[in-house]
Amino acid sequence: MKGLRQHPFRVTGRFFWFAGEVVLATFDFLFHCAFRSKKSGLAGRALWLHRASRRILRIFKLEPQVTGPVPSSGLLVSNHLSYLDVLVLMAIMPAIFVAKYEIRYWPVIGQLAMLAGTLFIDRERRSDVRQLTEEIRTVLNQGTLVILFPEGTSTNGQGVLPFKSSLLEPAVRQTHPITVGCIGYALDDGDVSEDICYWGNVTFFPHMLNLLSKRAVRASVRFARFERSRTDRKELAQQLRLEVLKLKGGFVKESGEESKIPSGTLS
């Protein structure tokens, strides 16, 4: 609650702004998506969250800076730092996300994710993995972009965790294009690894209030096409992770001297 104590008016105003955007997004959903089945209306739900994300990011004075070819279909594989990642990526292009099932129960974010057609998975259950493979294949065949965070959890941005190969089964068996992405954040009045990255034992609501207290959030997203050379999913997972690490290294090169970059700023 440190941010609320330091900037009570900013946090309060933005909180009510956020609540208003959620209400607006709900009515938008009712008008455009509510009376279509989830399976047949996935593209419409992706567009709905795309619109909502662009509006919500204005609260943080955030407009993503994008480098590289923006994907419109196929599979996008990215690093994962925060719940903010979803809004940033969705503000750039419409897509359907694959997420761990716990997110379904997060306040507000979980409800928005369900309405947006997010594909949830419990990796401990093999039947879930098999079912998810079929669901991803269906979405890909419809021409809708699918976004996957193969690390399986968000991190503090210091590195990129090994990718979960089980989540990449659809990419092994399909010919759809694959794009790799890497997200990076910056703050002038805080520490990215603590104030933006959502990891460890952090609780959602206090973290969100603290984030609302920041003057502005900067986000950069790098994309690159991936040319597959392996059909084994474990080797594919290793290759994709290496490509994301290459993109992550690009943030260091553009910034000049690496020593001047605050801990956690790179992602």
- 131/241 Cα distance (integer angstroms): 24
Residue 43 confidence (pLDDT) above 50: yes
Residues facing residue 178 across a β-bridge: 75, 226
The contacts of residue 175 (CB under 8 Å, 6+ apart) are none
User: Looking only at Cα atoms, what is the longest distance across the chain?
Assistant: 54
The chain-wide mean pLDDT, for the chain, equals 86
**Which pTM was predicted?**
0.88
Q: How does pLDDT run across 111-140, given as a tens digit for each residue?
A: 888 899 999 887 667 666 778 888 888 888
**For position 32, what pLDDT does the model report?**
87
Sign of CA dihedral 186, 189, 194, 198: negative
The answer, yes or no, to whether residue 52 has pLDDT greater than 60, is yes
Q: Give the CA angle between residues 142, 175, 244 to the nearest 5°.
A: 100
d(CA 128, CA 79): 22
Domains, the chain, with CATH or none: 2-260 (3.40.1130)
Taking each helix axis as running N to C, give the angle between helix 204-212 and helix 8-32, from 0 to 180 degrees, rounded to the nearest 10: 110
Q: What is the pLDDT of residue 40?
A: 63
Helix axes 84-92, 42-57, angle to 10 degrees: 110
**Tokens of residue 37, six digits:** 């089945």
- How many whole angstroms from its chain centre is CA 16? 23
